[in-house]
Amino acid sequence: MNEDWTRHEVEATVAAYRHMLQLELSGQSYNKSAHRRALLPKLNNRSDRAVDSKHQNISAILKILGFPWIPGYKPYGHFQKLLFEVVESQIASNKIIDEVALTATSLPASSPLIENFSGVLVAPPKFDHKAKEPSPPLYFSSPNKRDYLEREARNISLGRSGEEFVLNFEHFRLYQLGQRKLADKVDHVSVSKGDGLGYDILSFDVDGRERFIEVKTTAFAKETPFFISRREIQFAKSNEEQFHLYRLYDFRKSPKLFDLVGSVGKHCAVNPVSYICEFP
């Protein structure tokens, strides 16, 4: 079915997604299939696949709004203007979703105790160098939106817990490679030497070469954007073969990480989000 979705359908679909997202951010269990079954009677003979695609569109819009989305509904663009307007309106006007998002981004965190890290490292998201990251649409209008992803990035407890997790992961990795002496030399330099070096963990490759690891942690989905400083970008370029950015995701539930080696621009679109204004 190719007809455009009506306002009634869009509002019902966004409301259903928002309810699942509230449960997700609150740490409560929910069933995607059950929510889809409850939604379908409100729609005009839409298929399960069409509903899932619309949910992916909603995730893409939430990404633009700086808002966490539901894992499993990977952001997918090419959405209609009406959908953007309804998502933006429902997010801006709903106090509950605002409260649960603020709580989810600011909660303290602790590094979980894991004995076997063998399943933690996964492949990074695919990056199409020819594709251009979508800018906010021309009809993007919210003047007072919160950037919840930026708020999470400033969560000191979450960031420090992620670094501790990586410290333990590196000990495990080197022990598994039979390099116990190197494992014992792994250093949490952001603690022992202070921030500002351009990386957080000093580790080693199996041949003894130093590995400079910057850690970025999120409690949200694998594709969640992360923030990186100019210093970190410059350090990565200057240490192309030794710099590793470990992106931790789904940290509170089932931590996984992927490794971006060398210049960050090789792996993702790096977009400036702020400017400094100075007086001469």
Tokens in use for 249?
């995701």
Residue 140 inside a domain? The answer is: no
Distance between CA atoms of 180 and 173, rounded to whole angstroms? Answer: 10
User: How far is 37 from 51, CA to CA, in rounded Å?
Assistant: 10
Which 3 state secondary structure label does DSSP give 61?
helix
Percent of the chain with pLDDT over 70: 91
Report whether pLDDT(160) > 50: yes
Residue 62 within any structural domain of the chain: yes
**What is the torsional sign of CA 171, 244, 272, 197?**
positive
The string of pLDDT tens digits covering residues 175-197 is 999 999 999 999 999 999 998 89
Q: Which residues contact 234 (CB under 8 A, 6 or more apart)?
A: 198
Domain that holds residue 20: 7-106
Domain match, 90 and 184 both: no
CA distance to 38, 116, 190, per residue, from 139 (Å): 31, 48, 42
Total length of the chain: 280
- State how far the Cα of 71 lies from the Cα of 67, in Å rounded to an integer: 12
* Domain's final residue, options 53, 77, 106: 106
**Do 158 and 261 lie in a common domain?**
yes
126 lies in some domain:
no
Residue type for position 51: V
Reported as a single tens digit per residue, the pLDDT across 3-21 is 789 999 999 999 999 999 9
Rounded average pLDDT over 254-263: 96
Task: Tell me if 127 is assigned to some domain.
Answer: no
Residues 14 and 78 in one domain: yes
Q: Quick check: 243 and 236 in contact, CB under 8 A?
A: yes
Assess whether 152 and 255 both reside in one domain. yes
Residues 127-159: tens digit of each pLDDT: 866 655 455 555 555 555 678 999 999 999 999
Backbone dihedral angles phi then psi of residue 63, each to the nearest 5 degrees: -60, -45
| Rounded Cα–Cα distance for residues 236 and 217 (Å) | 18
Residue 137 lies in a domain: no
Entry pTM: 0.89
pLDDT for 136 equals 55
> In this structure, is residue 122 part of a structural domain?
no
Tell me which of 218 and 271 has the higher pLDDT. 218
End residue of a domain, out of 106, 132, 163: 106
Per the structure block, which two tokens stand in for 4?
């455009």
pLDDT digits (tens, 9 = 90+) for 71-128: 999 999 889 899 999 999 999 999 999 999 999 999 999 999 998 999 999 999 988 6
In a domain, 230, yes or no: yes
Of 54, 84, 106, the domain-final residue: 106
Residues 6 or more apart from 156 whose CB is under 8 A from it? Answer: none
For residue 130, is it within any domain? no
Mean pLDDT of the chain: 91
Domains of the chain: total:
2
